[in-house]
Amino acid sequence: MAGRKFFVGGNWKMNGTIESGKKLVETIKSAKLDSNTEVVIAPPAIHLLLVKDALSGVEHVQVSGQNAYHKASGAFTGEVSVTQLQDAGIPWVILGHSERRTVFKETDDQTAEKTKAALDAGLSVIVCVGETLDEREKNESVNVVVRQLNAVADQVKDWTKVVVAYEPVWAIGTGKVATAEQAQEVHAAIRKWASDKLGQSAAESLRIIYGGSVAAKNCKELATQNDIDGFLVGGASLKPEFTEIVNARL
């Protein structure tokens, strides 16, 4: 905790319509949100500007891309570049999400390359790391996460605009949730990695958030853990309970 501002991201993934997006924004705007929590929501790319405009004037809530490409422009059909996000006034981007890694086969090095490009373009980045069920059962959780983080650290030296999201792949969309103790254990290992690799000061200020079937029913216990600085919320970010998760520390 140590003075780190609590952070809650809502990843809408490939869900929603213009109408449902407007309704979600209205729910957020009408709720009394914890002013000590930074909130970032990530709608599909086609809805980014609409949601950004709808949120104008709302303090503590910003908008994020769900992914971006590291090249500024060019013949990369279907991609959105980090510089296009920056030009559109989108301050955040999620990179290395487990679905990008598992479904779209993005590598550690590609995630690192994108992270460097996004930071160079002035964006803030939510970098996702996490292990599969097979890797957890082999007691490889920390090794996998450290490998993913080392790839980024090889290209990125300044982590002040990075939030690390630990997302155990086996707990995403499955309804399975790492226990608060399991999550804290990996978060503590990430903090130790950061201290060894980036220095103690950087480690103490680095926000490490948890993602993996976070819901209103489990967020309060998770939020009490010493090294859990917030959440990256999937399915529950499409429901009114998202505001309860934002207020997990109240």
Question: 162 and 115 in contact (C-beta within 8 Å)?
Answer: yes
User: Which amino acid, 247?
Assistant: N
Q: Is the pTM of this model over 0.95?
A: yes
Beta strands in the chain (DSSP E): 6-11, 37-42, 61-65, 92-95, 124-129, 162-166, 207-210, 230-233
Residue 249 lies in a domain: no
3-class SS shares of the chain: helix, strand, coil, % to 5: 45, 15, 40
Residue 172 lies in a domain: yes
Q: What is the structure's pLDDT at 174?
A: 79
> What is the average per-residue pLDDT within 74-93?
98
CATH number at residue 166: 3.20.20.70
Q: What is the structure's pLDDT at 2?
A: 63
Residue 106 lies in a domain: yes
Looking at residue 89, the DSSP 8-state letter turns out to be: T
Residue 219 lies in a domain: no
Give me the count of residues in the chain: 250
Report the alpha-carbon angle 150-9-97, nearest 5. 40
pLDDT tens digits for 138-174? 999 999 999 999 999 999 999 999 999 999 998 887 7
Has residue 96 got a pLDDT over 70?
yes
Q: Give the count of domains, the chain.
A: 1
Residue 247 lies in a domain: no
Residue 118 lies in a domain: yes
Residue 1 lies in a domain: no
Which residues, in sequence order, are CB contacts of 68 under 8 Å at separation 6+?
79, 80, 81, 82, 84, 85, 93, 95, 114, 117, 118, 123
Domain that holds residue 82: 6-213+228-240
Residue 129 lies in a domain: yes
Percent of the chain at pLDDT exceeding 90: 92
Q: What are the catalytic residues?
A: 97, 167
Radius of gyration of the chain (CA): 17
